[in-house]
């Protein structure tokens, strides 16, 4: 199993446990001795997908994520990255796959979210070209992986419950190639 599949599998396995942890035992008002369970702080449970593009440390940036929301608590599986713009050669690129926990602030049509969590980062460097014919060359791509800390801040406006538009600032702190990105995105699903 590759690393990306492992991170996604862990996120999907933790989602039901995370939802159950939101229920808080409270004293029974009837006096029967059986503990009651309080409703989570909000019954706004939902799933939405986010897709965005913009600028980053290596010129262009992109992001794709799946968010599972339990009220104000969000569990996010994200892949984000940045790549150098190059016309006749592949550019250096850095991307991650991350599992983030975040909290949403605000309600209704607009809200913000701050999130962070562990990630697996992949850095690809094309090196020098060889066997060139005019502008076309072959490249040996060097690929390195490491662990990192993924960070993300979202500002979202949702004019309707199934659609949101927003700005996302994302980044990754890692020893190989830290990166940052600012993207404009679309959020589809139960956004509010």
CATH of the domain at 54: 2.40.160.20
Number of domains in the chain: 1
How far is the C-alpha of 25 from the C-alpha of 102, rounded, in Å? Answer: 23
The pLDDT of residue 65 is above 90: yes
Is the pTM higher than 0.75? Answer: no
- pLDDT for 44: 65
Q: Is residue 64 included in any domain, yes or no?
A: yes
Q: Is residue 173 included in any domain, yes or no?
A: yes
Q: Is residue 29 included in any domain, yes or no?
A: no
The pLDDT of residue 90 is above 90: no
Sequence-separated (6 or more) residues with CB below 8 Å from residue 166:
50, 52, 154, 155, 156, 157, 184, 185, 187
**In the structure, what pLDDT confidence band is assigned to residue 165 with cuts at 50, 70 and 90?**
very high
- pLDDT for 33: 58
pLDDT mean over 116-127 = 92
Q: Is residue 136 included in any domain, yes or no?
A: yes
Token duo for residue 13: 């396995």
The pLDDT of residue 4 is above 60: no
How far is the C-alpha of 50 from the C-alpha of 158, rounded, in Å? Answer: 12
The pLDDT of residue 162 is above 80: yes
Q: Is residue 182 included in any domain, yes or no?
A: yes
**In the structure, what pLDDT confidence band is assigned to residue 146 with cuts at 50, 70 and 90?**
very high
The pLDDT of residue 38 is above 50: no
Domain ranges, residue 109:
3-22+41-189
Q: Is residue 36 included in any domain, yes or no?
A: no
The pLDDT of residue 92 is above 60: yes
Q: Is residue 46 included in any domain, yes or no?
A: yes
Q: Is residue 31 included in any domain, yes or no?
A: no
Decide which of 97 and 8 is more confident.
97
């Amino acid at each position: 199993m590759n690393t990306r599949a492992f991170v996604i599998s862990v996120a999907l396995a933790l989602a039901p446990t995370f939802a159950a942890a939101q229920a808080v035992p409270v004293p029974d008002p009837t006096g029967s001795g059986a503990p009651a369970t309080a409703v989570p702080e909000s019954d706004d449970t939902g799933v939405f997908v986010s897709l965005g593009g913009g600028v980053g440390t290596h010129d262009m940036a992109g992001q794709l994520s799946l968010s599972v929301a339990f009220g104000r608590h969000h569990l996010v599986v994200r892949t984000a990255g940045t790549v150098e713009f190059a016309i006749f050669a592949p550019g250096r690129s850095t991307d991650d796959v991350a599992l983030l926990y975040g909290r949403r602030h605000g309600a209704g049509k607009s809200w913000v979210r701050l999130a962070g969590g562990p990630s697996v980062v992949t850095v690809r460097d094309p090196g020098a070209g060889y066997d060139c014919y005019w502008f076309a060359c072959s490249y040996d791509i060097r690929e390195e992986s490491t662990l990192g800390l993924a960070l993300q801040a979202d500002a979202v406006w949702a004019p309707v419950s199934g659609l949101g538009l927003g700005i996302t600032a994302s980044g990754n702190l890692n020893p190989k190639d830290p990166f940052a990105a600012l993207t404009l995105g679309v959020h589809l699903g139960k956004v509010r």
